[in-house]
A and B are shown apart, each in its own frame.
Chain A
Amino acid sequence: MKLTELLTEDLIKLNLEGKDKEACLKELVTLLAEAGKITEQEEFYQTILAREELSTTGVGNQVAIPHGKSEVVKEPTIVFAKSETGVDYGSIDDQDVKLFFMIAVPEKKSEEHLKVLAKLSRKLMHQEFREDLLTAATKQKVLEVIKEHE
């Protein structure tokens, strides 16, 4: 399975409006709901917040990977979003976050999907991948970058 099968154009947002962490997370969850990937918007938002409580998903290098596992998720999905200005996310390296990957996983997990997410997580540790994503100006370009690095 390819990463791009979990991430489609309607799940990409190139300029988040939110100015703080909570607002951005809400936007991401809204995107999921609009694409019909979750049945309960508020509930999934709470799941995401609960995970942040545990420890920040701001993994450094301007990347955040808020994620949640919940019954309200229909199928494993990735949302990608960028913030032009950067958002204070309480990241482990205190950098503002510009790249968001929100990961939604249903309670009933499929191994194949989880492996794709694992692959994405590994890719995020590579600087070129992050830089290419930061410079990608269109949704099409974002998907191309991800394909290139697949």
Chain B
Amino acid sequence: MKIVAVTACPTGVAHTYMAAEALEKAAQKKEIEIKVETQGSVGIENELTTEDIKQADAVIIAAGTNVKTGRFQGKPLLSVEVGEAIKDATALLEEAKEKAEDFEPQEDVVTDVKTHKSERSQQRTGAYKHLMNGVSRMIPFVVAGGLAISLAFAFGGIDAEGALAGALMQIGGDAAFALMVPILAGFIAASIADRPGLAPGMVGGMLAVQVEAGFLGGIIAGFLAGYVTEWLKNIIKLPATLEGLKPVLILPLFSTLIIGLLMLFVIGPPVMGIMTGLENWLEGMTGTNRVLLGAILGAMMAFDMGGPVNKAAYAFGVGLLASEIYTPMAVIMAAGMTPPLGLALATMITPNKFDRQQKEAGKAAAVLGISFITEGAIPFAAADPLKVIPSIMVGSAITGALSMLFNATLRAPHGGIFVVGIPGAVGNVLLYAVAILIGTVVTALLVSSLKEKIEVA
């Protein structure tokens, strides 16, 4: 048993410390491990770390003032006046212990998923971190642009005819989509070289678009701009009086010129070749190859549920939107939805194989699934990775393959079931739904048959 406590009082000179001492003494006698944070007038002492709180079985707050309890969320919490702890700390510990024993952990799946997500973004390092910085800044442009284009088609037919459709097309295609690759490149560069990287990155990205080097060219431009700017920052040494000119004049001028020339004469042409090849290959792909690509992208989405492999597939799909290739994006969203959806279904068809918390988690996973938040599968995968991950990969691969087979398209990079309501966003919507449904069912059946029954204690 481990307990953490916070003591505080209005003046913060005496009661805070008496209560802390009383709790520590009583805990020692009862052989309970305790750590007491004091919030007195000397400031916070013996501060509780996230690790302490995580390990604690119960939390006691003995305070005559307001103590923030946000960080103790999901823990059995006993809140009393500071005097209580001084008067009878032993009884207080006893009460906290009871509370800990009766406590039903509210395994809040949504919070859990959030923690996983933020932990992952903190763990991102190096090139992957820079790439994701660019991709995440680019997404709002893709969402707005993609959906505006969808609406243009909905109002104006396949050629987007008419004033309104024309305007929507201009907003989505000529403006928002045109900014996509520059933003991607700019923020990759800014992630590497901080603010001075933004200008050369965006210019490099713009040039990548102009020479038709697409999102691949943009990614290269971003990294190049970042590292070149960083390098310039280090090698250019100016006398102190001129130092102020460096960020406003020297760095932008030279970094932009270097990147610009490289993009136009060195990087651009070969990447344009690769990009055109990729586009032609994707568009010309038939039968088995299409299905295979769908299956591979699908399995990648499920493999690490929001991790680097998943994000690589995702970035691939989003990047191709700039080249007006919409089928991979459809695969990626569908395959990203089936893992949480399939697991949710599994908790319903074989409830005896999941404990009560997981059944609750299933309901949340269903909501996360329809919103295309693949991370909703993490709580299940974390508990039983060897059975869950292969199952969801198979389900997602099948969905991906079907989506390609049905030639489903998606013009927006996110939104889950909610983009279906936007006219024109999804092409072949009925068969697309079928693909998602089949993958969900396959996932659920696999998980259900692989998992063993839980003995009811």
Q: A-side interface residues toward B, CB under 8 Å? A: 51, 54-57, 59-60, 65, 67-69, 92-93, 103, 105, 109, 111, 114-115, 117-126
B41 sits at the interface (CB 8 A)? yes
Complex CA gap A88/B13 in Å reads 23
Give the Cβ gap from A85 to chain B, nearest Cβ, in Å: 23
Is the pair A125, B40 in contact by a Cβ cutoff of 8 Å?
Answer: no
Is the pair B11, A51 in contact by a Cβ cutoff of 8 Å?
Answer: yes
B279 sits at the interface (CB 8 A)? no
B87 sits at the interface (CB 8 A)? yes
Report chain B residues within 8 Å CB of A121.
Answer: 13-18, 21
Is the pair A125, B86 in contact by a Cβ cutoff of 8 Å?
Answer: yes
Is the pair A67, B40 in contact by a Cβ cutoff of 8 Å?
Answer: no
B10 sits at the interface (CB 8 A)? yes
Report chain B residues within 8 Å CB of A125.
Answer: 18, 21-22, 25, 86
Q: B-side interface residues toward A, CB under 8 Å? A: 10-11, 13-18, 20-22, 25, 38, 40-42, 64, 81, 83, 86-87
Report chain B residues within 8 Å CB of A105.
Answer: 11, 13, 41
Report chain A residues within 8 Å CB of B86.
Answer: 59-60, 92, 125
Report chain A residues within 8 Å CB of B15.
Answer: 57, 59, 65, 121
Is the pair A54, B18 in contact by a Cβ cutoff of 8 Å?
Answer: no
Shortest Cβ-Cβ A-B pairs, 4 listed: A122-B21, A121-B17, A118-B17, A125-B21
Give the Cβ gap from A63 to chain B, nearest Cβ, in Å: 9
Is the pair A111, B42 in contact by a Cβ cutoff of 8 Å?
Answer: yes
- Asked whether A118 and B40 contact (CB < 8 A) given A65-B14, A69-B11, A105-B13, the answer is yes
Is the pair A122, B20 in contact by a Cβ cutoff of 8 Å?
Answer: yes
Complex CA gap A61/B21 in Å reads 14
Complex CA gap A67/B13 in Å reads 8
- Asked whether A67 and B14 contact (CB < 8 A) given A59-B86, A111-B42, the answer is yes
Report chain B residues within 8 Å CB of A92.
Answer: 83, 86-87
Is the pair B13, A117 in contact by a Cβ cutoff of 8 Å?
Answer: yes
Give the Cβ gap from A82 to chain B, nearest Cβ, in Å: 18
Give the Cβ gap from B93 to chain A, nearest Cβ, in Å: 14
Nearest B residue to A118 by beta-carbon distance? B17
User: Could you show 5 A-B contacts with beta carbons less than 8 Å apart?
Assistant: A59-B86, A65-B15, A69-B11, A118-B38, A122-B17
Is the pair B42, A114 in contact by a Cβ cutoff of 8 Å?
Answer: yes
- Asked whether A54 and B20 contact (CB < 8 A) given A59-B83, A92-B86, A93-B87, the answer is no
Nearest A residue to B43 by beta-carbon distance? A111
- Asked whether A114 and B25 contact (CB < 8 A) given A92-B83, A121-B18, A125-B18, the answer is no
Is the pair B14, A109 in contact by a Cβ cutoff of 8 Å?
Answer: no
